[in-house]
Structure 1
Amino acid sequence: MRQIDLLRHGETERKGVLLGRTDAVLSELGWQQFEKQTRNREYCIILTSPLKRAREPAEQLANARNVQTRRDKDWAELDFGAWDGKPVAELRKDAEIAQALDAFYRDPNASGPPGGENWTTLSDRIALALGRLLEAPDEGNALIVTHAGPMRAALSLACDIPLDRVWAHKIDYGTRITLRFGRVDGKFWGEIIEIVQP
């Protein structure tokens, strides 16, 4: 079994928009949230999404603590395609897009945003990322600095929670979820140790 901290990046300078692949920097509060969630926590490795809202604080922490860090594109946020970087309120003004958004969040197999990916595709790449983590030597706790979408997919996979049910878990900016997981009979098996809101 391996123990990991899944940490959603802190608040960004861009609020109210669908932040998938659109890059944004952390706000001052976002940096404070990150520092609070990692204070007094020990890590042997830090994995990070390549997006700067996750990457910059992860690499700063790794440098400060002399811990190995690695960027992993599979931990990037879901690609919202044509909706990416747009205000949700603005998108919802279009009845057709509002209906597509509702279907997208309700059904993991629904079509993703135009030019983007759906939840099942995200889940597939998180399964690859979790598998790589389990294959690596376990030298202690790992920190994964990522986004809400990948965290939901990881919970779904590790704890056998249907993707359309992981919305019951609040994952706000700066949320940390400590998870112990491994494989049992070839399938992921995990348990949530704690969920700490910022």
Structure 2
Amino acid sequence: MRIDLLRHGTTGRDGHLDGRTDPPLSALGWDQFRRQTMNGAWRRIVTSPLARARAAAEDHARNTGCALQIDADWRELDFGRWDGLKRNDIVAEPDGAALLDAFYADAAVAAPDGESWSDLQARVARALDRIVISADVGPVLVVTHGGAMRAALSLLLGWPLRQLWSLRIHPGTRITLEAGQSEQAAPWGEIVEIIQP
């Protein structure tokens, strides 16, 4: 099955840890989304419920007649008390730098009052299972967030957390994969194309 993972376009708040914080797409963000979807021929669109992803997905589905599904498991990581802050703001707090380093180094470490990368991977694994085992053979467009895309890549490609930071996923980035499940029901994937905005 072909799956396109598309990070929503920019909100103008690049550099902020916006998980639950949900600013709308900027004009540039809408343009990034339209450029990444203009030649797509998807049968189905699955989107995060957060407005910065959902609004553009709904617009595209309306304009193309494509089926649309809103799936809460594709929402961004919940950064807890860090949500909406910049990394510099967190580092300035007592023990902030050490906590932030641990959060990015260890998938089991959660943001204060938020989620860990392991929590996010569990959600995204459920979401991927629903797509891969569906009767619809695709192609499918998933409009989501940088964290959820990294979780999907980790699950499909077997990449460890540290390796995920070697791939920059700007707002508006689209990653096309061939994906499926083995006979043992293990997910697999291979990258076909990466298009940065």
- The TM-score normalised by the length of structure 2 is 0.96
Q: Which is worse superposed, 5-14 or 55-64?
A: 5-14
Partner of 1:96 in structure 2?
Answer: 95
- SS of equivalent residue, structure 2 residue 131: helix
- SS of equivalent residue, structure 2 residue 52: helix
Question: What's the CA shift for 1:139?
Answer: 4.1
Partner of 1:174 in structure 2?
Answer: 172
Partner of 2:77 in structure 1?
Answer: 78
Partner of 1:23 in structure 2?
Answer: 22
Runs of 4+ off more than 2 Å: 13-16
Q: State the number of aligned residues.
A: 196
- SS of equivalent residue, structure 2 residue 95: helix
Partner of 1:152 in structure 2?
Answer: 150
Do the aligned partners of residues 77 and 37 (structure 1) sit closer, same or farther apart at CA in structure 2, a change above 3 Å counting? same
Partner of 1:122 in structure 2?
Answer: 120
Rounded Cα–Cα distance in structure 2 between residues aligned with 1:16 and 1:4:
27
Matching of residue 6 in structure 1 with residue 5 in structure 2: yes
Partner of 1:165 in structure 2?
Answer: 163
- SS of equivalent residue, structure 2 residue 4: strand
Matches within 5 A, 1:186-197: 186-197=185-196
Rounded Cα–Cα distance in structure 2 between residues aligned with 1:191 and 1:161:
12
Contact 1:108–1:164 (CA under 8 A) maintained in structure 2 = no
Question: What's the CA shift for 1:41?
Answer: 0.9
Aligned partner letter, 2:144: T
Q: Which is worse superposed, 137-146 or 73-82?
A: 137-146
Aligned partner letter, 1:194: E
Rounded Cα–Cα distance in structure 1 between residues aligned with 2:168 and 2:86:
20
Over the aligned positions, Cα root-mean-square deviation in angstroms equals 1.1
Partner of 2:46 in structure 1?
Answer: 47
Partner of 2:139 in structure 1?
Answer: 141
- The TM-score normalised by the length of structure 1 is 0.96
Rounded Cα–Cα distance in structure 1 between residues aligned with 2:196 and 2:15:
19
Rounded Cα–Cα distance in structure 2 between residues aligned with 1:135 and 1:35:
28
- SS of equivalent residue, structure 1 residue 85: coil
